[in-house]
Amino acid sequence: MNRVAAQSLESPFRRFTRDEWAQLRADTQLTLTIDDLRKLQSTHDPISLDEVVAIYLPLSRLLALYVAATQGLFKATQRFLGATDGKVPYIIGIAGSVAAGKSTTARVLQALLTRWPNTPKVQLVTTDGFLRPNAELIRQGIMDRKGFPESYDGTAVLGFLSAVKAGQHNVAAPVYSHITYDIVKGESVVVDRPDILIFEGINVLLPNRLPRDGKEIPFVSDFFDFAIFLDADEALLEQWYIQRFMSLRTTAFRDPRSYFRQYADLDDAEAEATARSIWRRINLVNLHENILPTRPRADLLLTKGASHRIEEVALRKL
């Protein structure tokens, strides 16, 4: 395809301003209180009830419709096959950069979707638990590549999603501690045939390399029914990362168990320089090499502005 022809193609996304998207809420009722919201938001990822009403209520309404349609299709397939047992969870993937606010988005969506009558059981799992233990990353010499694709146990991720999608009971996922910055030995979160599973992580939309011999090698996103990408300008992401780092010096970094305890006593100038270096050496490189290239693969793009408010929504139409 030549360049002129490519440029003439329509975007696969239909774009909405904040106000246009908010109108799609229709009569969906707000079921969260301000106290609920305080418990759901992450450090330095402010979110207001107005944001929930304008962005997340319309999104929860759309997802409830999608889930109901998918459930109907599954039941029709079961009737066709003469099967009587089985339940296939609807899986939502959430991707985006470090500091974009994925965790808050995932928790707010979980809280809202749980309140829809056809999806009372919504579980949330992050890819952090599938990072390889620090000892292994150090042994492989890739500790500074933590968060890059090679730092995850991809086989375990695929095995987990395959089991969940197959409707298996009590599928375990490893647990990660942001205090120790490592996998918690002997702990797991159990997913037991939910109506919806939200699977959140920076690289969840990244495809595998295609096999040369035609073998069946699934992508993580093959298991998703709907994918969301949380987006923001690079300068904003860097600013938010540094702000979070500076704040954590007086909170989580003070914990004696904290992997980042070494940064707790830095003065402001040293801490900012350290945070900026970590961002540019690691997180920005990962953003350019692995995260941003997956943005067009999402079904929904949520783009944040300077105040953390989502200013534009793009919904895939193809």
DSSP per residue over 44-75, as a string?
T----HHHIIIIIHHHHHHHHHHHHHHHHHHH
Helices (H) then strands (E): counts for the chain: 11, 9
pLDDT (mean) for 198-222 = 84
More confident residue, 40 or 100: 100
> Crossing angle of helices 268-278/234-248, nearest 10°?
130
pLDDT of residue 87: 78
CA 6 vs CA 2, 9, 13, 147: distances in Å: 6, 6, 15, 33
pLDDT mean over 143-166: 95
Share of the chain above pLDDT 70, in %: 95
Q: How many CA atoms lie within 13 A of 170 on its CB side?
A: 0
Q: Does domain 13-233+300-316 have CATH number 2.40.50.140?
A: no
pTM comes to 0.93
Kindly tell me if the per-residue pLDDT of 135 is higher than 60: yes
CA proximity to 289, closest of 162, 151, 165: 151
> Taking 60 as the threshold, does the pLDDT of residue 6 lie above it?
no
Chain centroid to CA 153: how far?
17
pLDDT at residue 315 is higher than 50: yes
Nearest-angstrom CA–CA distance, 300 and 295: 9
76-90: pLDDT as tens digits: 988 898 887 677 899
Residue 211 pLDDT greater than 70, yes or no:
no
Question: Across residues 256-267, what is the average pLDDT?
Answer: 92
Spans of all domains in the chain: 13-233+300-316
User: pLDDT tens digits for 49-79?
Assistant: 999 999 999 999 999 999 999 999 998 988 8
Residue 164 has pLDDT above 50, yes or no: yes
